[in-house]
A and B are shown apart, each in its own frame.
Chain A
Amino acid sequence: GEDVEQSLFLSVREGDSSVINCTYTDSSSTYLYWYKQEPGAGLQLLTYIFSNMDMKQDQRLTVLLNKKDKHLSLRIADTQTGDSAIYFCAESKGSAGNKLTFGGGTRVLVKP
């Protein structure tokens, strides 16, 4: 079945880069997503990548996809205290109308 895994926790100093890793098992995944969740709030879509892409950059965010190893990463450059949150990766097949399978979430703590 589908499985998405992430490390539980990441601590980083303000101004450094953060790298959050995710692995998935379903090779038929079409879209891979990164969401951010702040305490008591819903999910905010940060970025997504289509499975035929290797990399996508959007301002401070860089997504790398290694389809062979089924490995996805999110790099946040110049990490700020406002980046402290839980980050979820997720995968889906096909369009946005298809269900998402989420990883367990990585709690990122940015220290000043």
Chain B
Amino acid sequence: GAVVSQHPSWVICKSGTSVKIECRSLDFQATTMFWYRQFPKQSLMLMATSNEGSKATYEQGVEKDKFLINHASLTLSTLTVTSAHPEDSSFYICSASGLALREQYFGPGTRLTVT
């Protein structure tokens, strides 16, 4: 099946710094990628949808200047958490879909802890 990877799998950073998370589709071209965040024991909340080569569409309440999303190629999307604060600590999960695929494939997630 289609494989999606994320890097890093976990990261600890200091408050005020920026962190970049990568999401890669390893064996298919991802025309659309999605970024979710998940708080402990809660469901996934969609943050934004990105289509290759165009600006991401953010969900209501998600600050686009704080969560920068780049989808510059058909196999890579990045999420940069700028000026991170402890409340940004969460599990960030990406998913990807391609034109020929019927479902989204999820990455393993990245656990971000901001101290």
Contacts and interface: CB of A to CB of B under 8 A. Distances in A.
Interface residues of B, number: 25
Given A97-B97, A99-B34, A43 B44 contact: yes
Nearest to A107: B41
B44 A102 contact: yes
A96 B101 contact: yes
B104 A100 contact: yes
B71 to A, nearest CB: 13
Interface in A83-112: 88, 95-97, 99-105
Contacts of A102: 43-44
B106 interface: yes
Contacts of A104: 42-43
B32 A97 contact: yes
Interface string A35-46: 100001111110
B106 A43 contact: yes
Contact of B93 (A31, A33, A43, A105): A43
Contacts of A31: 102-103
Given A99-B49, A102-B43, A102-B44, A42 B102 contact: no
A41 B10 CA distance: 11
Contact of B31 (A35, A48, A97, A105): A97
B33 to A, nearest CB: 10
Interface of B: 4, 6, 31-32, 34, 42-44, 46, 49, 93, 95, 97-99, 101-109, 111
List 6 A-B pairs, minimum CB-CB distance, nearest first. Answer: A96-B97, A43-B106, A42-B108, A97-B32, A42-B106, A42-B109
Interface of A: 31, 33, 35, 40-45, 48, 88, 95-97, 99-105
6 contacts: A31-B103, A96-B32, A96-B102, A99-B46, A100-B104, A104-B43
